[in-house]
Amino acid sequence: MKAVTFTGTRQVRVADVAEPKVQEPHEAIVRINTAAICGSDLHLYHGRLTGVEPGTIIGHEYVGIVEEVGSQVSSIRPGDRVVGSFHTACGHCWYCRQKLYSQCVHCCLFGCGTRFGNLPGTQAELARIPHADFTLHPVPDDLSDEQALFAGDILSTAYFCAERGNIQPGDTVAVVGCGPVGLCVIQCAKVFGAARVIALDMVPARLQMAKDLGADPVDVGENPIKAVKALTGNRGADVVLEAVGSEATLKLAFQLARGFGTISAAGVFTEEALPFPAGRSFAKDLTLRVGMANVPAQFHAVLELLRAGRIDPTMLITHTLSLNEAPYGYDLFDRKEAVKVILKV
């Protein structure tokens, strides 16, 4: 079968690889029909993620049809159309029983190498899905593959980030980063009651998309702290939602939040440690939340918001390519010339 593989920094290749087989009774094989490239794929594309060996099948955003299930799989059948979480969850450990699936003791990430369970990715014709009952979710008939795909990663991530921002109705929310995740965060902040969303980035086309979603765009190159103060009675944002994952944006988030404000970060920090402004946080009574999305816990809410039309992430899709064109898609996305790249398999 064909699959997208990582071959070296800024190099991916569509290769012929062996078809996956069910190895454990809790697994399923899914025939992927729609995949996508995520900002998290860029971390490994840039060579920042250790443990991704050349030849690793990458990707973790996917919708497809269940082809085969192991003997323990009970909620998913062959022929079902499913969306999958980017991380697996067993459903039975202590964390899963509390619905804290992203801390599952058996949690693996698709296509992220040996540090995350060495599970082959899903930018491929077929994928092996561990713990299929909890990792996969049926797609409602009235949603397209493209809509549902967002529930498996970035829309659930955005929902999780906004939820953990503790937004109160009427709040002013600053969203740092207007990539696909940030643009989903803007939509989710409104679902949680934000009166005003200020969107920060430096890419004009992305700031324009944020504006189209009703946010006030601010170019980070032009004194963003002053701009946010001017829009918030000189106080700063009630809530800052970070959607980049860099030292610069974490620092900016601390500067943008008002006293007693909350920062919720969805960006993946690939560094082991970053400077923490302890003094500023103490003086400002800040709350900081960071973390990987708990996707199986969000599936229901996110899919219902999509069905009701409250959120529409398909406006982010700028390119629909074939799986064979994945190397071109990665290059475009890396150069910020694409927002969301869909790969039809």
22 vs 52, beta carbon nearer ligand NAD: 52
- DSSP secondary structure code for residue 110 in this structure: B
Check binding of 210 to ligand NAD (CB under 6 A).
Answer: no
Q: Which of ligand NAD, Zn ion, none sits in contact with 189, Cβ below 5 to 8 A by type?
A: none
Q: Which of ligand NAD, Zn ion, none sits in contact with 306, Cβ below 5 to 8 A by type?
A: none
Check binding of 274 to ligand NAD (CB under 6 A).
Answer: no
d(CA 89, CA 185): 24
Task: Give the interface segment with ligand NAD, choosing from 25-33, 112-120, 177-185, 227-235 (CB under 6 A).
Answer: 177-185
11 vs 269, beta carbon nearer ligand NAD: 269
Are 83 and 34 in contact, with CB atoms under 8 Å apart?
no
126 vs 268, beta carbon nearer ligand NAD: 268
Instruction: Give me the residues paired with residue 6 across strands.
Output: 12, 56
Check binding of 64 to ligand NAD (CB under 6 A).
Answer: no
Task: Write the CB contacts of 223 (distance below 8 Å, at least 6 apart in sequence).
Answer: none
Angstrom CA distances, 126 to 29, 147, 153, 223, 329, stand at 7, 20, 18, 47, 20
97 vs 335, beta carbon nearer ligand NAD: 335
Shortest Å, Cβ 109 to Zn ion: 9
Check binding of 123 to ligand NAD (CB under 6 A).
Answer: no
Encoding tokens for residue 128?
A: 């092996």
Shortest Å, Cβ 114 to ligand NAD: 18
Are 87 and 107 in contact, with CB atoms under 8 Å apart?
yes
Beta strands 28-37 and 56-57 are: unpaired
Q: Which of ligand NAD, Zn ion, none sits in contact with 178, Cβ below 5 to 8 A by type?
A: ligand NAD
d(CA 200, CA 277): 21
120 vs 180, beta carbon nearer ligand NAD: 180
103 vs 232, beta carbon nearer Zn ion: 103
Q: Quick one: which of 282, 279, 289, 217 has its CA closest to 253?
A: 289
Among 17, 93, 195, 203, binds ligand NAD (CB under 6 A): 203
Angstrom CA distances, 305 to 61, 104, 302, 312, stand at 19, 26, 5, 9
Classified as helix, coil or strand, 145 is: helix
Q: Which of ligand NAD, Zn ion, none sits in contact with 280, Cβ below 5 to 8 A by type?
A: none
Among 38, 213, 253, 306, binds Zn ion (CB under 5 A): 38
d(CA 178, CA 174): 11
20 vs 39, beta carbon nearer ligand NAD: 39
Among 191, 202, 231, 301, binds ligand NAD (CB under 6 A): 202
φ, ψ for residue 339, nearest 5 deg: -95, -75
Check binding of 52 to ligand NAD (CB under 6 A).
Answer: no
Name the residues that contact Zn ion, by CB under 5 A.
38, 40, 153
